[in-house]
Amino acid sequence: MSDAPPPIAATKLMKKLMAEHFLGLDRAAREGSPKVAWCTSVGPAELLHALGFLVYYPENHGALLGATRMASETIPVANAAGYSPDICSYLTADVGAFLKGVTPLTKAYGIKGVPRPDVLVFNTNQCRDVQDWFQWYGRHFGAPVIGVRTQRGVGPVLDSMVADVSRQIQYLVPALEQISGNKFDIDRLRETVGLSKQCTVMWRRVLEYGAKHPAQLSFFDHTIHMAPAVVLRGLPEAVTYYDTLLAELVERDKEGLAAVPGERFRLYWDGMPVWGRLRMLGDLMASLHTAIVASTYCNSWIFDAFDPADPFISMARAYLDLFIVRDEAFKERYILDHVALYGCHGVVFHDAKTCPNNSNNRYAMPQRLQDLHGVPTLVINGDLNDLRCFSDEQARTNLEAFVEQIEELAA
């Protein structure tokens, strides 16, 4: 097997930016200024930044608990406290970690705990669990929990839906003004929406390096380099990072570096990452000379609709355009389009036990892709964080057999 490509140098900058992000949140929470807002991954972060909040994302913390495999120790604590093993394992890992008094931020940045929130702001476009998750912390800290309730199962995104979500975002303003002590300024919001737009455009360009033959970045790279798009969206730091990363990717492209040396096959990943097994799965796919070149998950931080000229409406549209909000027909078309765009030989669906909203195999989509469109599909069972639901051996056999099958069909 050829050697792995050299590591991406921009990662150092990302680590620095992430350290500054978490240390800044920790300092703000201890000093009481600026105010700290907790936000769901596709919540109204642009508005929060515009009002001067530092924004903390518990879902990102959940992913960190998964990637460090601390989740295996913290999920049972939340289960014992009444949070079912069948609900979101970001929630159970995170609440369990809080109850246990541990966080991966300690080892990474020397921080004792997650930053105390002054307000928690959700958007149910991801799922209902985020509300229940934030309510737990709201009760614990005595902090207000406010948010946006987005339509689900959306086909065409109608103007009436956009208007509804836009109004809900605007209704948050008075409460957020009061908590932050800052007056809302539409020009400041235009600025943060503009920064989010820049970030999203650049993140899309990063992902499109997966469309090259061979792919220059894989899904496993994307799960690392998406961090600034997730936690620094709406800030200039994210733009700085993707500027640096894209400049490096241009150079790497000239050298013809491949994410998976000797790439033979290309796959699309649908569903959540298995955070605690990224290394194992990445190594396995490399050994099979197969690159996972695109994913629904990493594409979910592309928000084409952001428009500084019309910030509230465009935020609403961006939050509604999201894959997870859409109906089955949209999702099927979306995956097919990306399979074609990225030249994929098949689709791997990850059926995450505790994340039904990100498990798109459950209403026979794999069968439809295969039978109606001739796209080979595989379903592997697992979970984003709860490794009790994941079998290394079964995943290995499934993925190896899938690549064998694609090879046979290609022959």
Partner 1 sequence: MVTGGVDIGASATKAALLNGKGALLGSAVLRSGVDFAASANKALQAALGEAELTAGEVGPIFACGYGRGNAAFAAATRTEIACHAAGAYHYFPRALTVVDIGGQDNKIIKVAAGGARTSFKMNRKCAAGTGAFLEEMALRLDLPLESLNDLAAGATEEASLGAYCTVFTATEVLAKIRAGVAVAALVKGLFRSVVKRVLEMDTLEGTVVMTGGVVAHNPHLAVMLAQEAGREVKLPPRPQLTGAIGAALLARRSLEQDAA
The runs of H, that is alpha helices, within 255-310 are 278-287, 296-299
Which residues here bind partner 1, judged by CB under 8 A?
370, 376-377, 379, 381, 389-391, 393-394, 397-398, 400-401, 404-405, 408-409, 411
Q: Which is nearer to partner 1, 216 or 377 (CB)?
A: 377
Determine which helix (DSSP H) or strand (DSSP E) holds 146, and give its type and residue range. strand 145-148
Min. distance of Cβ 405 from partner 1 in angstroms? 5
Tokens at residue 154, please? 């959306």
Shortest approach of partner 1 to residue 279 CB, angstroms? 18
ω before 104 within 30° of 0 (cis)? no
Please report the sign of the dihedral spanned by the C-alpha atoms of residue 326, residue 332, residue 335, residue 337.
negative
DSSP character at residue 154: B
> How many Å apart are CA 93 and CA 70, to the nearest integer?
8
3 state SS of 309: coil
Nearer to partner 1, 244 or 391 (CB): 391
Q: Find the shortest distance in angstroms from Cβ 394 to partner 1.
A: 6
Q: How far is the CB of 168 from partner 1 (least distance, A)?
A: 39
Question: Cβ of residue 396: shortest distance to partner 1, in angstroms?
Answer: 9
Q: Give first-to-last CA distance, the chain, whole Å.
A: 21
Choose among 31, 61, 35, 66: nearest CA to 48.
Answer: 35
**Residue nearer to partner 1 on the CB measure, 307 or 407:** 407
- In the bound state with partner 1, the residue whose beta carbon lies nearer, of 145 and 395, is 395
Q: Rank residues 214 and 382 by Cβ distance to partner 1 and give the closer one.
A: 382
- Strand order of the sheet with strand 290-295? 290-295, 265-270, 346-352, 377-382
**Distance (Å, whole) CA 29 – CA 24:** 9
Q: Give the position of tokens 């409460």.
A: 175
When the beta carbons of 357 and 405 are compared against partner 1, the nearer one is 405
Give me the least distance between CB of 402 and partner 1, in Å please: 8
Q: How far is the CB of 352 from partner 1 (least distance, A)?
A: 12
d(CA 147, CA 149): 7
User: In this complex, which beta carbon is closest to partner 1, that of residue 137 or of residue 390?
Assistant: 390
- Give φ, ψ of 28 to 5 degrees: -60, -40
